[in-house]
Amino acid sequence: MTFLLSQLAGTGDISGIVAPMQLSLKSLICFAVNDNLDAGNAEGGSHWTLAVYSKKDRTFFHYDSASGSCNVLAARKVARAVQPYLEDPSKKSKVVAVQTPMQTNAYDCGVYVLGGYPFLVTFSHATSQ
């Protein structure tokens, strides 16, 4: 879903896709982000990260398990795509990199996104309240 939203952003109205998700009612929204910039290449992209929107902070927190990754650009693209559908579209959100555990190989980024990061996000959100 994240890839679809980022690819369609700026090309037309995506409200038909986004509206049923009721994003403005959520306190945290997680987006699995891939660095594939070519919608025509299904096998494109080589790295996964997690962007988490916090309504309380009006911030997208970006979790990246690979040092030197340029995935923050893809995370910013996702943020721009969904910004109009958040609680106050006139107030721009920022994307902030979060220091996270690093993978020790070139292939575990998806494991971090699906397994480890959701725990970190839940824990950090619970302790910040």
Q: Is the Cα torsion angle 50, 55, 56, 58 positive or negative in sign?
A: positive
Rg (CA), the chain: 14
pLDDT in tens, 100-124: 889 999 899 988 888 866 666 666 6
**Residues shown for the chain:** 129
pLDDT in tens, 42-90: 778 889 999 999 988 899 999 999 977 788 998 998 898 888 888 776 7
